[in-house]
Amino acid sequence: MDQDPDVIVVDGAILAPKRVARTVVRVVAVLFLVALRSVSRILTVRIIVVGFHRFGHLALEPEQFLARSESKQTRFQLDLWSLGNHSNQTNRYLANKWAGRVNAVPSWVVDALVRAGDRFPRLACDRPQLSIHGPANGLDRTAPQLSFTPEEVASGSEQLRALGIDPSLPYVCLIVRDSSHYLSLGHEESPGYSYLNCDISMFRETAVALANSGFQVLRMGAGSERELGLKHPGVMDYAKSPLRSEFLDVYIAGTCTFAVSTQTGPDAVCLAFRRPVFYVDVVRFSQFFFGTKLAWWNPATIMVNGKRMSMRQIVNHEVFWLEDPDDFIRHGISIERSSPAEIARMALAFADVVKSGLQMPAQYTADAEQVRRILREGLGDRGLAIFGEPTAMMNPAFLADNARWFLNE
């Protein structure tokens, strides 16, 4: 005879029906909200639910929220944070770091309060909207909310040496999005994600170029990606290493000299720790980090009906605001990506930018200012509310090759 899933049985004895336990929790949650309502003039409670199931959101949502001036807690304000339960956190080490920084409570408590508030809206606690993009240029205005302890630095350095990486020398992250991670979790991506995914083989030339320039290169990932397929003493396919760990995933991204990325999870960790990132072939502009000077970028060539779009055309077209990758297909958008040689050239140009303290080379400052002006005019108040002032900079090597048509058509 099958056991009723709504009861708990130990040694044949029914201890407590699960449905009764859930009812008790719901009643207590409602009573708690009633109590809060009665003292709302002197105490405000906010519920803050982080996107704990995605690496980048777990890294940047708390970071961006805490950087906002309106997020500062007053004497009579209580924030209850949900970082998920242990089993569904995308990185438990990072979740634990945040738990030490914010007032984290068990996810089931927050869930009960949210459900009670949905049932009785007049009792609901305020739930601030979180974003990985901003607004208000928080990453440029504030220091990182998280840091590594001396013990973590010592451990991280030791583990880097075990990987063959000298922690006293510059090392960079190579972060390339592909479809294998979500496939490994049993989630098949829709066709539109082909606009976001890249072929790791397109970045081999970049890895070698950076390694030959004196940087140690670590290819990042969750372990399910295709192999980099490159043997070079200065390049480590960390994503496929048996030494890979949740701690190192965060430590490497948080301490690297810079990263070269295609806009996916680990690069958000870099930004959270204020490490600069070069974003290759940006396609989904609505999800980009226009509001931080840490982000340098080049666009993929965006085409509508086979005709390439200039910067001004992009920001004044609906393609700029598309979020669902499948919408690119629905709107007849096609893209052309940079060649391996072009990516390598832009990565080396960015390495020089990092060495200069993130200063745009003088010969491209006028072009960079034109990009900023086009963005500011095109984004308007909507973009300002989402990203803040556009401070992300376009890659100087891209400007050298494309400014004439991209900024003037």
**Domains, the chain, with CATH or none:** 7-132 (no CATH), 144-406 (3.40.50.2000)
Average pLDDT over residues 41-70: 91
Enumerate the β-bridge partners of residue 22.
Answer: none
Over residues 244-286, the pLDDT tens digits come to: 999 999 999 999 999 999 999 999 999 999 999 999 999 999 9
pLDDT greater than 60 at residue 12: no
Q: Per-residue confidence at 188, pLDDT binned at 50, 70, 90?
A: confident
Band the pLDDT of 206: cuts 50, 70, 90: very high
Output 202-206 pairs: Cβ under 8 A, ≥24 positions apart.
202/337, 202/339, 202/340, 202/343, 203/174, 203/176, 203/228, 203/260, 203/340, 203/343, 204/228, 204/229, 204/230, 204/340, 205/340, 205/341, 205/343, 205/344, 206/174, 206/260, 206/340, 206/343, 206/344, 206/347
pLDDT, average across residues 293-322:
96
**d(Cα 391, Cα 231) in Å, to the nearest integer?**
37
Q: How many angstroms separate the CA atoms of 159 and 236, rounded? A: 13
**Which residues are bridge partners to 278 per DSSP?**
260, 296
Give 340-367 pLDDT, tens digit per residue.
999 999 999 999 999 999 999 999 999 9
The pTM of this model reads: 0.91
pLDDT band at residue 134 under the 50/70/90 scheme: confident
| CB 290 within 8 Å of CB 284 | no
> Are 285 and 268 contacting, i.e. CB atoms less than 8 angstroms apart?
no
Cα 30 to Cα 113: distance, rounded to the nearest angstrom: 7
For residue 114, which of 216, 46, 23 has the smallest C-alpha distance?
46
Amino acid at 407: L
**pLDDT, position 187:** 73
Reduced to 3 states (helix: H, G, I; strand: E, B; else coil), residue 17 is strand
Which has more pLDDT, 288 or 180?
288
Q: Which residue has the tokens 């004497």?
A: 75
Q: How many Å separate Cα 221 from the centre of its chain?
A: 13
Residue 2 is given by DSSP the state P
pLDDT at position 9: 52
How would you write 270-325 as a 3-class SS string? HHHCCCCEEEEEECCHHHCCCCCCCEEEEECEEEECCEECCHHHHHCCHHHHCCCC
Give the integer Cα–Cα distance in Å for 395 and 400. 9
Output the pLDDT for position 8.
53
Distance of CA 17 to the CA centre of its chain: 41
| Of 180 and 190, more confident | 190
- Residue 15 scores a pLDDT above 50: no
User: Would you state the pLDDT for residue 1?
Assistant: 44
